[in-house]
Structure 1
Amino acid sequence: MDVNAHLGLDDDPSTRSTWSHRAWMAAGFTTVLICLAKSIIGAANSHTWLQPILAAFIGYVLADLVSGFYNWGIDNYGTTSTPFFGPQIKAFQVHHKLPLAITRLQFANNLHALARAMAFTLLPFNLFCDDSTVLGFVGVCSGCIMFTQQIHAWAHGPKTRLPPLVVALQDLGLLISRSQHAPHHRPPYNNNYCVVNGVWNEFLDKHKVFEALELVVFLKLGVRPRSWDEPNSDWIEETDNPSQMIANS
């Protein structure tokens, strides 16, 4: 049986990229490239490479932490009618019921919302900042955040269907892999929120950072996180063998 047909995703227009999606993707990608190019040129002119490289590395590591806090918040708070975040909350709820669907979104469709946010965020840096260290940090951090959803999608696909470069980066631990992300979709559904490279997951989960924050929010505001109630776990995990995936669904 065809996997797409089983999931009801054949010819689904909601999975396709539109010209608007592509335009925002191009805008976001361009602002990131400009930021990084200015950082490289500035470092070359000043002959100071160490600070921009260290700043870029910190940006890469911080992007993973940002993705964790953002995913935790979207997963646990707000509703589909919440201003601005409502569509993202809805998408994350659907994702927990059907994780495989994210792998069927076309590239620009999957990334356009974050690309649009990064385009507006980076524009002032592109126009007014000439500090190569700042630009290195901002460019790498923003670039990683912009590609978070695609990195996330790759973490739900089997290696046999991923680009070789992505597989290599996952094997090196530079991008989060399927095995690293899988616990997020298993009981108790309250861990492994970081989805860039996953380097923060062990620390955050071991020290129960998000559980502590949930308790603070509940005590101060009386709002229960969704992770305290068993989520709908009717979701489908893809395997290298489509028939095995269907059998397990």
Structure 2
Amino acid sequence: MRMPTEPSDLVHFESTLEHRAWVYGTMGLLMGSVGIAGTHTDSPGEVLALLASCVASYYAADFVSGVVHWGLDNYGDGDTPFFGSQIAAFQGHHSEPWTITQRAFANNVHKVFKPATAPALVLLAAAPFTPSWLTTFGASLLLLLCLSQQTHAWAHKKPSQLPAAVLALQDAGVIVSCKVHGAHHRPPFEGNYCIVSGVWNPILDGNGSDQGFFRRLERIVQAATGVKPRCWTDPEGFAGAPEGDQDT
């Protein structure tokens, strides 16, 4: 495992103006959508629906983060159209997992916020015309998915490196902990993909059974396309996949 040896090694981990623009601009769009939804909420029932949609988005985000993580880890490469840079970053993360702990916030998350900008714009434009609970669910889900890259980064840090509030959330199981996510980094990297809270991991993994959700899904993909997932064919752990350049 290569570690940085010179200050110049760390320059690629700093946040740039472009990184911040993608991250905070998209956050603003999503928060604007929720703000519009709030202005359309009048009755106690609507408020309750709004709160329920937030809770539902939290659990949905963990599920979706696992499915996306599974797909990026196991299929395609850096040359894959549209998703190549994300695939390279996720697959390369297994060979150099330390890099995620060195990146500044916007540097770390901008590549997931960037493709989220278009759906965030759609949510904002549609907010005055859609049910408040639906707008809130969509915006909250998208925001949590984008921020999952930061909960992922925290899950790679030592407890002594984390703010007390983050450590408390990990200990309470609200966000994924180092212990839970650490199980994913054991070759052949075939489980524990969820990186928001990790609550879906034992369910989707089927407790290691061949009948788990991902194992079934892999067999379906293989039957339909003939393509085997990387966790079947690269048990050494993505040895040839350096982490993608997050500054591109």
TM-score interval w.r.t. the shorter chain?
0.7 to 0.9
Cα distance per residue 1:147-180 (max 9 Å; x no partner): 0111100010012111222111111211101011
Q: CA deviation at 1:35?
A: 2.1
Q: Which residue is 1:231 aligned to? A: 236
Q: Which residue is 1:193 aligned to? A: 193
Give the alignment of 1:128-147 within 5 angstroms: 128-130=126-128, 131-147=131-147
Q: Given the superposition, is the C-alpha separation of residues 9 and 177 from structure 1 closer, same or farther in structure 2, using an over 3 Å criterion?
A: farther
Q: Which residue is 2:173 aligned to? A: 173
Q: Which residue is 2:220 aligned to? A: 216
Q: Which residue is 2:7 aligned to? A: 10
Q: Identify which of 59, 70, 73 aligns with 2:71.
A: 73
Q: Which residue is 1:123 aligned to? A: 121
Give every structure 1 segment of 4 or more consecutive aligned residues whose post-TM-superposition deviation is greater than 4 Å: none
Q: Which segment is superposed worse, 69-78 or 114-123?
A: 114-123
**Partners of 2:5 and 2:66 in 1: CA distance:** 30
Q: CA deviation at 1:132?
A: 1.5
* % identical aligned pairs: 37
Q: CA RMSD in A?
A: 1.9
Q: Which residue is 1:237 aligned to? A: none
**Partners of 1:215 and 1:203 in 2: CA distance:** 18
**Partners of 2:88 and 2:105 in 1: CA distance:** 19
Q: Given the superposition, is the C-alpha separation of residues 193 and 86 from structure 1 closer, same or farther in structure 2, using an over 3 Å criterion?
A: same
Does the 8 Å contact 1:151/1:175 carry over to 2? yes
Does the 8 Å contact 1:28/1:119 carry over to 2? yes
Does the 8 Å contact 1:217/1:223 carry over to 2? yes
Q: CA deviation at 1:110?
A: 1.0
Q: Which residue is 1:114 aligned to? A: 112
Q: CA deviation at 1:68?
A: 0.6
**Partners of 1:34 and 1:164 in 2: CA distance:** 29
Q: CA deviation at 1:111?
A: 1.2
Alignment of 1:46 with 2:43, yes or no, is yes
Does the 8 Å contact 1:27/1:116 carry over to 2? no
Does the 8 Å contact 2:108/2:149 carry over to 1? yes
Gapped regions of structure 1 (runs ≥ 5): 235-249
Cα distance per residue 1:3-59 (max 9 Å; x no partner): xx943473333212111111111111101211222233322x334211111111111
Letter in 2 for 1:10: P
**Partners of 1:232 and 1:188 in 2: CA distance:** 6
Does the 8 Å contact 1:15/1:109 carry over to 2? yes
Gapped regions of structure 2 (runs ≥ 5): 240-248
TM-score if structure 1 supplies the norm length? Answer: 0.86
Cα distance per residue 1:173-228 (max 9 Å; x no partner): 11101011011001342000010011110100115111111112112211111101
Where 1:11 maps in the other structure, the secondary structure is helix
Does the 8 Å contact 1:35/1:138 carry over to 2? no
TM-score if structure 2 supplies the norm length? Answer: 0.86
Cα distance per residue 1:75-132 (max 9 Å; x no partner): 0000211111111111112210111110111111111122222222121221222322
Q: Given the superposition, is the C-alpha separation of residues 29 and 9 from structure 1 closer, same or farther in structure 2, using an over 3 Å criterion?
A: farther
**Partners of 2:237 and 2:85 in 1: CA distance:** 19
Q: Given the superposition, is the C-alpha separation of residues 97 and 70 from structure 1 closer, same or farther in structure 2, using an over 3 Å criterion?
A: same
